Chains A and B, each alone.
Chain A
Amino acid sequence: MPYRYRDDIATADVAFEVWGESLEEVFAAAADATMNVMVEDISTIGCLHQLTVELGHDQLDLLLFSFLNELIFLKDARKLLLRVQDISIGMEEAKFALKSTLCGEMPDAGKHRLATDVKAVTLHRFSLDKTESGWQAFVILDI
């Protein structure tokens, strides 16, 4: 599990750090860390609906911010709990561009141990940085 929740920061909400060798790994792990706040065992989320998202931003960290926001939007608007099936991040017309295939299903209290809803991704201390071994990010979710 390439993410860890932080008990000592923003106690009323949920803070997590996430790491990976590639940007794609960090984005996918951050998506799982967000979903894991809402579903206690994310391996129970089946792949019944598939959809593709394409996002762009001129700042790489804000591309991650938009991506997590999109997952939260889809949770309410499409009633879908989603995980990353495939993701690629590159450059398009001088902007960072993301394309991801997401897969998931509707929340089902009988099947998923539902936990706490995520309201939003905050920008307080939000970061995405390159490290010696890859990338890491820090995120605080509003609960």
Chain B
Amino acid sequence: MSIPEVVKKVSDTVWEIPISYKEGMRVPGRIYATEKLVKEMDAGVFEQLSNVACLPGIINYAYCMPDGHWGYGFPIGGMAAMDPEKGVISPGGIGFDINCGMRLVLTNLTLEEVQPKLRELVDALFRKVPAGVGSTGFIKLSKNEFAEVTEQGSRWCLRKGYAWPEDLENTEEGGCFKGADASKVSAKAVERGFDQVGTLGSGNHYCELQVAKPENIFEAETARAFGITIPNQVVIMFHCGSRGFGHQVATDYLQLFLNVMEKKYDIRVNDRELSCAPFRSREGQDYFAAMTCAINMAFANRQVILHRIREVFSDVFRKDARALGMQMVYDVAHNTAKLEKHTINGKQKEVLIHRKGATRAFGPGMEGLPEHYKKTGQPVIIGGSMETGSYLLVGLPTAAEALYTTAHGSGRTMSRHQAKKLIKGQKLQQDMEHRGIYVRTASWGGLAEEAGIAYKNIDEVVEATELAGLSRRVVRLLPLGNIKG
């Protein structure tokens, strides 16, 4: 594909869609990517980015990260900061899977120690971490208890013995965003998700055992600070979100905003998926409080999954999880809206940042990072396809321009339907096993959809984030075993 004429080159890694492109654009669109990646972006990205640029109260630019691709409302890889006083909040800028995010966990085991137990580990994880259509978690909660989960996130897990104190420190915002109010959540959302705590979900959600090989360490000192200290160290990465609960919260408020947006607030959008309300309006604040509940539920979900993973490793290696060094590196969300302080036009200002398929990437010394990462900057976890590998990156001071935001994954290039036509799940599992990657799945079709061939090259995406000064490579992680929904 060629780059549309309207996309202007600013530098080798910065591209711009001027406000003259579409009536109603308040700011330009800004894409961080190499020429090759911009060429590969589908036309939907440019349309969606220019629609985002029309939203009331948007500041600086409508941003798109190097893994940008065609989503709904915002492009996936999209980010927009709104003036909280004059701007809007939109579920289409967060996604239905509120606080979909990544968690990376260490072990002190090496590839040589894990290899003989790989099947046993993956099979046990597959049993202990439910995945796929209709799955429910092992924790039985009443609806009142579930309300506590949504208001307290990882703190609830700590109280119930599903977390270590330091897990919370290593989670964005301590695993509990401020402002959650369970009374703003519908009974339907609760009914849909209260029994799903501790489940992976489906689609591109997974739990993967990975190895950090010495030749894949880009920055030894930062890797050490993040806990990657042994040659061929095995780590665990997983990707999931707020399950049916978050999906329903977003669906409920999308419909509410559709009702009031034009009639009450005289706001018009180019795509109904961008339905929104002024952030300071009653509807905007109610959504923010309910969405924050879903953010916290997702942190609790990933925390409970970590608890199960620790149990599995402990059983298989007959050692306590602490003795196995199963500390968290970090947990970071990539579908959120939150208030953050940033320098806008030379002044410190609180802004409402929507990140949809985009990761917060704080640079060194920034407020909000735990002490032990103050010197290095924030760990950024980027999941690649299950065949090719993933990355651990670090946040940089130069990302200030992009309000400390970077990519979130590799981004699809092939539709799910097409991938299923080309690839058969059982055959893919066998092929991967020959290459030393053992996969268990709740769905053969779902497995085929996630084949490496359906994704952009992750190496190019992370290299682009580095060239653009958004984040820097620390370790490339190779897959060993994977469970997926």
Contact = CB atoms under 8 A, between A and B. Distances in A.
A46 interface: no
A136 B416 CA distance: 23
B272 A123 contact: yes
B414 A114 contact: no
B218 interface: no
A76 interface: yes
Contacts of B42: 11
Contacts of B132: 109, 114, 117
B248 interface: yes
A66 B73 CA distance: 18
B140 interface: no
Contacts of A21: none
Given A73-B188, A107-B133, A120-B96, A113 B70 contact: no
B271 interface: yes
Contacts of B70: 9-12
A120 B193 CA distance: 13
Interface stretch (B54-62, B177-185, B437-445): B437-445
Interface residues of B, number: 52
A5 B449 CA distance: 14
Contacts of A66: 255
B250 interface: yes
Interface stretch (B106-114, B195-203, B219-227, B391-399): B195-203
A112 to B, nearest CB: 9
Interface of A: 5-14, 38-40, 62, 65-66, 69, 72-73, 75-77, 79, 81, 106-107, 109, 113-117, 119-126, 140, 142-143
Interface of B: 42, 44, 69-73, 76, 92, 95-97, 132-134, 136, 188, 191-193, 196, 201-203, 243-244, 247-248, 250-251, 254-255, 258, 271-273, 275, 411-418, 442-446, 449, 485
19 contacts: A8-B415, A10-B44, A12-B71, A13-B72, A13-B416, A14-B415, A106-B134, A109-B442, A113-B443, A116-B133, A116-B416, A116-B443, A117-B133, A120-B247, A123-B272, A124-B73, A125-B271, A142-B247, A143-B202
